[in-house]
A and B are shown apart, each in its own frame.
Chain A
Amino acid sequence: AQTVTQSQPEMSVQEAETVTLSCTYDTSESDYYLFWYKQPPSRQMILVIRQEAYKQQNATENRFSVNFQKAAKSFSLKISDSQLGDAAMYFCAYRSGEFGNEKLTFGTGTRLTIIP
């Protein structure tokens, strides 16, 4: 079974600075998808960014980018120019590339605090 590990329960960053959240996963599959979801205090789960394992290029979405290291099974999220609205729980998630297996496996989350 796949597992997702987020080793940083809490992180904090000064507003406008850059922060990196870590995520590692364990799988024997070669085809899979990785996601970062954000959960603000409203508890709504919002997709931040996604990465297909077959793509070598790291995904980027505006201020959010990932460092995907397939061999190391690492998938970190970098947030540039941090803003107060970025304060939230961030969850890393894994989905198998196997057709018909749609299960999302989540990590335990990292609580990000933005310091004004």
Chain B
Amino acid sequence: DAGVIQSPRHEVTEMGQEVTLRCKPISGHDYLFWYRQTMMRGLELLIYFNNNVPIDDSGMPEDRFSAKMPNASFSTLKIQPSEPRDSAVYFCASTLRPGPYEQYFGPGTRLTVT
């Protein structure tokens, strides 16, 4: 399997622009997670899905952020409008089932908002 796929790997955009990050989980995995990593806040969970349904979005910072999972093989994280403080590395992860099972992370998208 190719692992979790994220695109783009790097994104540079200007403040106020819309940004869309994409993720393809490992085939057959029922859970998908979006994380954000910054120097100030470390790694934090933004939202996760089970069978394409959002389960916990308490980590989504504000209304400018939205996430969707239209089918089992694709998810998006959208920021509109983007702000410089959104600059971070955004990771997508997936896992087959709950409990002790490993969350497999994608390579991340480094977002820079100028």
Contacts and interface: CB of A to CB of B under 8 A. Distances in A.
A86 B39 CA distance: 21
B61 interface: no
Query: What is the interface of chain A mostly: helix, strand, loop, or mixed?
Result: loop
A104 B103 contact: yes
A43 B55 CA distance: 27
A108 B55 CA distance: 25
A33 interface: yes
Interface of A: 33, 35, 42-47, 50, 52, 91, 95, 97, 99-109
A43 B92 CA distance: 13
Interface in B67-114: 89, 91, 93, 95, 98-100, 102-103, 105, 107-108
Contacts of B93: 45
A106 B37 CA distance: 10
Given A100-B55, A102-B98, A104-B45, 13 more contacts: A33-B99, A33-B100, A45-B93, A47-B103, A91-B43, A95-B100, A99-B98, A101-B56, A102-B55, A103-B48, A106-B43, A108-B42, A109-B42
Contacts of A46: 105
Contact of A50 (B33, B100, B105): B100
24 contacts: A33-B100, A43-B89, A43-B108, A45-B93, A45-B105, A50-B100, A50-B102, A52-B100, A91-B43, A99-B98, A100-B98, A102-B31, A102-B33, A102-B48, A102-B50, A102-B55, A102-B95, A103-B45, A103-B48, A103-B56, A106-B42, A106-B43, A107-B42, A109-B42
A52 to B, nearest CB: 5
B21 to A, nearest CB: 15
Query: 7 closest A-B pairs (Cβ-Cβ)?
Result: A45-B105, A106-B43, A47-B102, A33-B100, A108-B42, A103-B45, A52-B100
